[in-house]
Structures are given as C-alpha cells and as structure tokens.
C-alpha cells in the first residue's frame, strides 16, 4: 500500500510597502498608523524603491512650496518604482496630482487611513493573511527612534487664520477620547519611549468639540482637557521607574495654559512650550485673524518664568504678511527683544491657494521679505546665543539621541538634547568622551562647557 505524503505549502513572501512621509509630525503619525495597519495585514516594509511592490507618498499641502516638494517626491517615486499611491494633505487636490502624474494608482486625503489601506490591497493584494493570522503581531510601526514618540491628541482646527488652509485640508477640531490617548501614551512608555511629544493643530483646544467629556482612567474620571491630559501624562513612569519627558507643541496661549506651568515646576511636565505667536503687531495679527493681545502675553511670559525659571518658549513668526509695514516689523523686533524667546523660527509669507490672505491688499515685495527675514534671524540668533552662553557651567539633564564610534584616541562622542530642545526643530547638546556604556535613549547629566547660537557642548557630569 502506498501512503501519500501531503504537499508541503510554504508561506508566500510578503508584499512590500515603501513610504515617503513629508511635512509635519502630524503627517508622520499618520504614516505610522498606515504602516502599522498594513503590517497587521501581512505586508512588509521596504527601505528603498526597488524592493517595494507599491510606494506610498504622504504629502504636505500647507504652502505652495510644500506642494511642489510633494509633487517632486511623487515624480521621483514614479520614476524609481512606477506603482505609487498618494495620500496626505495634498490629496485634496487629486485633479492637480492626476493631471501631472496620470499614472498614480490612487489619491486619498489627509488621515483617510481606511481608504489608503484599501488602495494598497487593490494595487498589491496581501499574500500572507490566511497563513499568519495566528502569529502574534509585533508592536506598532515607528518612524522615529525608539526613545521618543509623537502623541497626536486631535485632528483639525477651529481657527480661520487668513494665511492657513488646514481646516479645509483636515476639517474642524476632532479630539480623541482622553482614555484612548492615555492608553496609547502608557503603551508607548512601556515599550521604551522616554519622551512624548504631544501634537495637534491646536493642543490648547483639546476637548472643546466634545465639551471636555469625562472618561474613566485608573479608577477616576478624567476630562478631555489639556490640563487634565498634562497632569495624567505626568504620572507615567518608564519600566525603570524614570519620569518620561512630556513636551507640549502647538499650544495657543489661552488662559488655562497658565495651569500647566506649575506642573513643569514640579517636574511632571518638561518645561517647554511651543506657541505659534506668528506676529506681534496688533494690526498684522488682526489681518491674520489671530488673537491680538501681545502686551498681556509679555506679562504672562514673566509670570511663567517666575514659576518655572527654566521654561523654554519656542515660537514661529511670519514676515512680509500682506500689509506689514516697516513700523509693524520694527514693532515685532522690539517685542522679541522684550519677550526674549528661547527658540524662534521665521518664515517669509507665501501665498497658498485657497487662503484668504491672498486677496488682501498691499502685498510685500519679495526683496523686502528677504531683508526682513535676515533682520529677524539676526535678532533671534543673538538672543539665542546669549541664552545658551548663560548655560555654560551648569549641569543639565539631557536625553541621548546618538552615540558615535570611538576615534583614534578611543574617545566616544554623543549627540543629545536638553529639555529646551525638541527633536528635529531645536538645538542639540554635543558630548565628548562619553562612557562606552551610554546608549541612545539614556537620560544623563551634562556639564555644559561651551555654546554657540544654537547648540551646547559638554561632558557627562
């Protein structure tokens, strides 16, 4: 009698996805969520165009220059791979994208996760689903280093700023449930995150759309409100018992922001606020349709610094907005001299299709924009240099981002950040002669030995 041997079926190779993520951290979080869902569906990730069955391009559409960068990225992906799906903010302009690149497989808008995944399934059907359903899935996909993570608490925005089209791209404010946000934060910290970067379009408005609804968390009710969220995040601890850094971004200076400053003084929140002031001249702020109470802001900055002396205030400003006169610009420079902000970014006004500011009179000539940009950067760099020089001789807590290889003398250098430095946008702390045991993600104390206009230099203290 002949006994037949069952045929052995091998698990087919997973389809691979490439990703190009452009724009702000909020887009990066969207990319992470899309890739996490696709990996759960049996897809693998590709680090290059050649190895990908399909390439996703997550676009930015905030400014015309960002749109052009997105179009260039789409073109490069098509040239290198040919099978491209477009998503993100510029996905709202599908006709523009298809007119330039008719070969794109699909176009979806911002945070349309399900539509993106469906498009991928259509373009490159998953091959592993029936074979791997019982295999435990790994952690969520992260596009940042293991030790820091972005925590997005809401989508959209209720403001109608004249220079911005975010509400048209991402809709009105839509806050996540407070318990869902805290659960994600807890999971991230348990998995190795040492620094949480809280992001949204308007962090201060978190929960306004849900009337700050309460949810139960750890046996007590918590409101969907920035102050409650900050207080709860301050209770998190890493598996090693350390307090993770919690950094607040995109914070509009509403009155209740005052309530989070004591949490910084207590060490529960990182003493850092990213506040989009945009300008100081009352006339320009009104034209921008922004709050125009710059005098009271200066008073509050002083009170915040009295409570938390090490607080870092970062902001960004637009120069050359339509109607901005030389007097308006000088007002801004004088305001900056008094405000003494720690970190400042400046942008030349750039029209973007659909923005109300395009229709305003008295557009500023490009040459004047460039001259004003150079002047504001000179002022802010001088202020930054003085503030960083004042830190020389101090010992500051830092988080390590990268550790180098030993040089010819066996010395090892490392790149770190202080609590005043958010990743990618602020300065760094360059450390010399660090211990061989130092690892990315480690907290350390650094004795600051030198400084320039943007960065600090020191040694483990």
Binding residues for [4Fe-4S] cluster: 24, 60, 89, 157, 161, 164
Q: Which residues of 17-26 are buried (b: 16+ CB within 10 A; e: fewer)?
A: bbbbbbbbbb
> Cα(66)–Cα(70) distance, rounded to whole angstroms?
6
How does DSSP assign 57-84, residue by residue?
EEE--SSHHHHHHHHHHHHHHHHHTS-E
Q: In whole angstroms, what separates CA 344 from the centre of its chain?
A: 16
Looking at the DSSP assignment, which residues form a beta bridge with residue 248?
A: 198, 273
* Strand arrangement of the beta sheet that strand 16-21 belongs to: 44-45, 16-21, 54-59, 84-88, 106-107
Which residues are annotated binding-site positions?
24, 60, 89, 157, 161, 164
The per-residue DSSP string of 84-151 comes to: EEEEEGGGGGHHHHHHH-TT-SEE--TT-HHHHHHHHHHHS--SSHHHHTTSPP-SPP-SS-TTEEEE
The DSSP bridge pattern shows strands 456-460 and 429-432 to be parallel
Please give the Cα distance from 244 to 227 (Å, whole number): 17
The CA distances from residue 60 to 26, 67, 68, 84, in Å, are 10, 6, 9, 16
Q: Which residues contact 366 (CB under 8 A, 6 or more apart)?
A: none
DSSP string, 152-171: E-EE------TT--HHHHH-
E strand map for 142-294: 148-152, 154-155, 174-175, 195-199, 214-217, 220-223, 245-248, 272-274
Tell me the three state secondary structure of residue 291. coil
């Amino acid at each position: 009698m002949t006994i037949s041997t069952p045929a052995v079926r091998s698990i087919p190779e997973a389809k691979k996805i490439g990703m190009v993520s452009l724009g702000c951290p909020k887009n990066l979080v969207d990319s992470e969520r899309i890739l996490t869902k696709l990996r759960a569906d049996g897809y693998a990730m590709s680090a290059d165009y050649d190895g990908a069955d399909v390439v996703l391009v997550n676009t930015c559409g905030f400014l015309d220059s960002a749109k052009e960068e997105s179009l260039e990225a789409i073109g490069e992906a098509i040239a290198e791979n040919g099978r491209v799906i477009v998503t993100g903010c510029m996905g709202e302009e599908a006709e523009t994208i298809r007119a330039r690149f008719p070969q794109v497989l699909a176009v979806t808008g911002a945070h349309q996760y399900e539509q993106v995944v469906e498009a991928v399934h259509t373009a490159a059907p998953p091959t592993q689903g029936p074979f791997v359903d019982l295999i435990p899935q790994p952690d969520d996909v992260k596009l940042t280093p293991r030790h820091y993570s972005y925590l997005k608490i809401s989508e959209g925005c209720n403001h109608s700023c004249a220079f911005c089209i975010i509400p048209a791209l991402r809709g009105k404010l839509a806050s996540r449930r407070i318990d869902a946000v805290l659960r994600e934060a807890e999971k991230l910290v348990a998995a190795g995150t040492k620094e949480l970067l809280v992001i949204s379009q308007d962090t201060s408005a978190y929960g306004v759309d849900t009337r700050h609804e309460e949810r139960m968390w750890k046996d007590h009710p918590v409101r969907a409100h920035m102050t409650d969220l900050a207080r709860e995040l301050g209770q998190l601890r890493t598996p090693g018992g350390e307090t993770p850094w919690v950094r607040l971004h995109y914070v509009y200076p509403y009155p209740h922001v005052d309530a989070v400053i004591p949490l910084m003084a207590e060490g529960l929140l990182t003493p850092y606020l990213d506040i989009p002031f945009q300008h100081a001249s009352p006339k320009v702020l009104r034209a921008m349709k922004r709050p125009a109470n710059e005098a009271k802001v200066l008073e509050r900055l002083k009170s915040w610094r009295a409570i938390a002396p090490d607080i870092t205030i970062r902001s960004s400003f637009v120069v050359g907005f339509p109607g901005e006169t030389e007097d308006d610009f000088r007002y801004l420079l004088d305001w900056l001299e008094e405000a003494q902000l720690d970190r400042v970014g400046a942008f030349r006004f750039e029209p973007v299709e659909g923005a109300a500011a395009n229709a305003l009179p008295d557009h500023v000539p490009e040459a004047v924009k460039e001259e004003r940009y150079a002047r504001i950067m000179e002022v802010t760099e001088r202020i930054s240099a003085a503030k960083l020089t004042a830190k020389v001789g101090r010992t500051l807590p830092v988080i390590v981002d990268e550790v180098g290889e030993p040089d010819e003398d066996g010395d090892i250098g490392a790149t770190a950040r202080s609590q005043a430095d958010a990743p990618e946008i602020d300065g760094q702390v360059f450390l010399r002669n660090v211990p061989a045991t130092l690892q990315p993600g480690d907290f350390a104390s650094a004795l600051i030995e030198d400084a320039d206009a943007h960065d600090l230099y020191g040694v483990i203290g």
